[in-house]
Chains A and B, each alone.
Chain A
Amino acid sequence: MVKQLLAGFVLLLSTLTVRAELVVEVTQGVDAPSPVAIVPFDWSGSALSEDVAKIVSDDLGRSGFFKMMPRENMLSTPHERSQVFFRDWRISNNDYIVIGRLIPAANGQITATIELYDVLKEQLVWSETVNGNSSNLRDVAHYIADQVFQQLTGIKGAFSTRIVYVTAEMLGKDKYRYRLQMADSDGARPRTILESKEPILSPTWSKDGSKLAYVSFESTRPSIYVQHLATGQRQRIQSFKGLNGAPAWSPQGDRLALVLSKDGNPEIYVLTLATGQLDRLTRHYGIDTEPTWSPDGESILFTSDRGGMPQIYSLHLPSRDLKRLTFEGKYNSRGRLTQDGRFLTMVHQDSDGFHIAVQDLKSGRVDILTSTGLDESPTIAPNGSIILYATKKGGRGVLAGVSLDGRVRFTMPNTQGDVREPAWSPFLQ
């Protein structure tokens, strides 16, 4: 009981920290982001645990598509159409305004009515009534942000998704604490899924978002586990001699690509989960690792040093044709594809370190998106808008985000220990 309370307290603390420290930095204004004002929502009951309008505003601001109006600059705080003076919002250069009211309903429920207006046309763009309660106001806020995002960009919002990541702390000589954590897409509400004295790495989501696969050294050797998120139940699915690593779920959800070195050196295998059948895909004395699937499930991309230095290759499964994808620079590894299969994000080394880069597979153009020198583990939001990755700040591991065009960057706060290996969930039901 005490433990639970304590856990709740810690959770609350870190939640607060997250919101206090999230820093969004818009680096280059290539196309001007659309200015939007999210007016604080009306609420007459006792103090709420969350500031819903602020969460909506932070979500949209982090996407890079919008320039959010600071609250202190608002001349008025309307909650209904009749209170909106469009001229005021035009003078303060807003294209859109979101207003709303939260109303207490029966059984502790809260009903939120939200309206999005086009300031120039003075027209209602979208309105919805959302039901929630005082304990899930963050879900309500992320839902509203998703709807506004989709209305204004035409792209499905991904704020209601989740991220997992690993934290590590060195407690003393040969003493470490590793945690697998899950949080909202904005880093809030972190909770521990697994904790161990031995390393945890390479978490990856099943395509339906119900399971995670990861590598854990808890038996003092690396093994691959699959954990059901709802029940916490898990299975050890692979534990050969040598490496058992880098699991990656097929888009159909029935197979896992992974790395085993049981036959001498690291090779890519595909495990069919229902039957346990293991197919070896690569045969090379070099290192083959970090598999990832193409969205159609037809190809597996992986890192290999068969050419001397690590580069990313693509293996077409039906034909077994192998193609090298990366040629720029001497080190390109751990690729991840956007949902449309067009852009490959990866870790790219140049003269001043390891950066996140994106390659347009159609044109071959490579853009280096980050300027810090120890960047790794890129993971793409399911709507393709943002890449989240791990970097170092002040000697500690933190998570940071960058848009695919490099225009927007933000740093997630460092909560405890070294944070690394973010993995963005798919859209969740």
Chain B
Amino acid sequence: MRVSNVTKAVSLALSVAWIVGCSSPSTLSDEDTSSSTADGSASTYGTGSGNGVNGSGAGGSVDVANLQTVFYFDFDTSSVRNDSIADLEAHAQYLSMNPTAAVRVEGHADERGTREYNMALGERRAKAVERFLAVNGVSAGQVESISYGEEKPAMMGSDDSSLSQNRRVELKYVSR
């Protein structure tokens, strides 16, 4: 069971790597276009932002095929869920085989509880994923973890479904 999972992950990662290798140039330019448009429309405000504030999605993310990039967490926990493991292992494989690739690990919390405490909870989640990647062979220099706490909800709303979608870690590939 365990073996077959790993095999699956490796073969998936290999195919992902291949797909990424082939398609990354066009993907990057797509991303660049869309993010610069977003920046263009937003720069009309930006009081005092100065140095070209970028959205967190900006910077050319790599399309890692069909892999999950958002990983959910149970209430008040920071342990990686079983349903996240296969895809996280695949990301780890890809990163360890592509030492120039880098990823931002963004941790988030739901709105319950105080903001700075949730900032710390979001960091715990991001760090849990960062550790998972490290254990699976990704070097520290390829990963930067950052917490947004409850400040960037995926869903507005206080119902259980919104809350569970906001307790998450997002992996974002960045260009270096």
Contacts and interface: CB of A to CB of B under 8 A. Distances in A.
Given A197-B53, A303-B114, A333-B113, A234 B48 contact: yes
B161 interface: no
A234 B47 CA distance: 12
A289 to B, nearest CB: 5
Contact of B114 (A168, A242, A261, A377): A377
Contact of B45 (A174, A177, A266, A377): A177
Contacts of B157: 395
A287 B42 contact: no
B99 interface: no
Contacts, number: 125
A289 B116 contact: yes
Nearest to A169: B156
B158 A334 contact: no
Contact of A197 (B55, B123, B148): B55
A328 interface: no
- Main secondary structure on A side of the interface with B: strand
A195 interface: yes
B120 A197 contact: no
Interface string B28-58: 0000000000100010011111110111110
Contact of A333 (B51, B111, B114, B149): B114
A382 to B, nearest CB: 22
B142 interface: no
Contact of A289 (B54, B117, B152, B153): B117
Q: In this complex, which of B145, B147, B151, B152 has the most chain A Cβ atoms within 10 angstroms of its Cβ?
A: B151
Interface residues of B, number: 38
Contacts of B57: 174
B48 to A, nearest CB: 6
Nearest to B119: A245
Interface string A184-207: 000000001011111101100000
B164 to A, nearest CB: 16
Nearest to B44: A3
Interface string A247-274: 0000000000001010001100000000
A266 B107 CA distance: 14
A259 B116 contact: yes
A25 B28 CA distance: 56
A170 B153 contact: yes
Contact of B148 (A194, A217, A241, A420): A217
A163 interface: no
B156 A395 contact: yes
A59 interface: no
B123 A266 contact: yes
A379 B127 CA distance: 31
A246 B121 CA distance: 14
A156 interface: no
B112 to A, nearest CB: 7
B79 to A, nearest CB: 15
Contact of B117 (A196, A222, A334, A420): A334
Interface string B63-84: 0000000000000000000000
B48 A194 contact: yes
Nearest to A244: B119
A392 B158 contact: yes
B131 to A, nearest CB: 12
A220 B147 contact: no
B146 interface: yes
A303 B135 CA distance: 31
A221 interface: yes
Given A170-B153, A196-B46, A266-B123, A334 B116 contact: yes
B125 to A, nearest CB: 12
Contacts of B121: 287
B80 to A, nearest CB: 18
Contacts of B51: 219
A176 B45 CA distance: 12
A194 B119 contact: no
Contacts of A241: 144
Contact of A194 (B47, B111, B149, B156): B47
Contacts of A196: 46-47, 49, 53
Given A199-B151, A287-B121, A395 B114 contact: no
B119 A243 contact: yes
Contacts of B114: 290, 303, 310, 333-334, 347, 376-377
Contact of A243 (B38, B48, B120, B158): B120
Interface string B121-159: 101100000000000000000001111110111001110
Interface in A196-230: 196-199, 201-202, 217-222
Given A376-B115, A395-B157, 7 more contacts: A170-B153, A194-B47, A261-B120, A265-B123, A265-B124, A334-B116, A376-B113
Interface of B: 38, 42, 45-51, 53-57, 111-117, 119-121, 123-124, 144-149, 151-153, 156-158
25 contacts: A174-B55, A174-B152, A175-B55, A178-B151, A195-B45, A197-B45, A197-B55, A198-B53, A201-B116, A201-B119, A218-B49, A218-B53, A220-B146, A265-B120, A266-B123, A287-B117, A287-B120, A287-B121, A289-B120, A290-B114, A290-B116, A310-B117, A334-B117, A374-B111, A376-B113
